[in-house]
Structure 1
Amino acid sequence: MSIGKYIRALRQENEKTLHQVSIKTDIDSPLLSKIERGERLPTSEQISKLSEFYGVNKPLLESKCIAEKILKNHGASKVTYDAVVMVQEVLHKYSVKETDK
């Protein structure tokens, strides 16, 4: 599920209007609408505000946003897949170092 659809689902589950979310997060209603429709990706600051408002895991929203950026910029292809695997290998080494601490 895209980050926009996920954010819309959170809003609907919480029975909030775009206007209500806008007021509580200080994010413009038309911008929230564009994020939900997948026309814009939220900034890091907006992700923080949305994760706090909905009480959801900020790293999950950040991960969804990064994944969507990769797909929007590079498309779903074998080359993109290979690049993501390369990144995964580097990050795996990083995560192993972090768990050794």
Structure 2
Amino acid sequence: MHFGEQIKQLREKRGLLQRQLAASLEIDTPMFSKIERGDRRAKREHVVQLAELLDFDVNQLLSLWLSDQILDIVSSEEVALEALQNAATTLKKNKGK
């Protein structure tokens, strides 16, 4: 699931309108709509705020948000999967340090 899809699902489950969340984030409703559709990327601080507003795990939401950003960068590359595997290996090594 992509970040925008998750936000929409959580918002609808709680019976909230886009304009309500947009106001809480201090952005306009069309911008929020674009974030839900995946046409625009939310700022990191908005992701944290949304997790709180929607009572959802912040790390899970940040993971979806970051995944979308990574896909935007690498999806058109032929060696994307290999690059991601290399990055994962490096992250695992660095986490142990």
Please tell me the TM-score bracket, short chain as reference. 0.7 to 0.9
Aligned to 1:53: 53
Gaps of 5+ in 2: none
Where is the helix percentage greater, Structure 1 or Structure 2? 1
Encode CA deviations 1:54-96: one digit per residue, 9 max, x unaligned. 1212222222122111212221665111111111111112333
> Mean alpha-carbon deviation: is it higher for 31-40 or for 20-29?
20-29
Residue 86 (1) aligns with residue 83 (2): no
Identity %: 29
C-alpha distance in 1 between matches for 2:18 and 2:24:
10
**How large is the RMSD of aligned CA atoms in angstroms?**
1.7
Q: TM-score, normalised to structure 1's length?
A: 0.83
Q: TM-score, normalised to structure 2's length?
A: 0.86
Gaps of 5+ in 1: none
Shift of residue 26, structure 1, vs aligned partner: 2.3
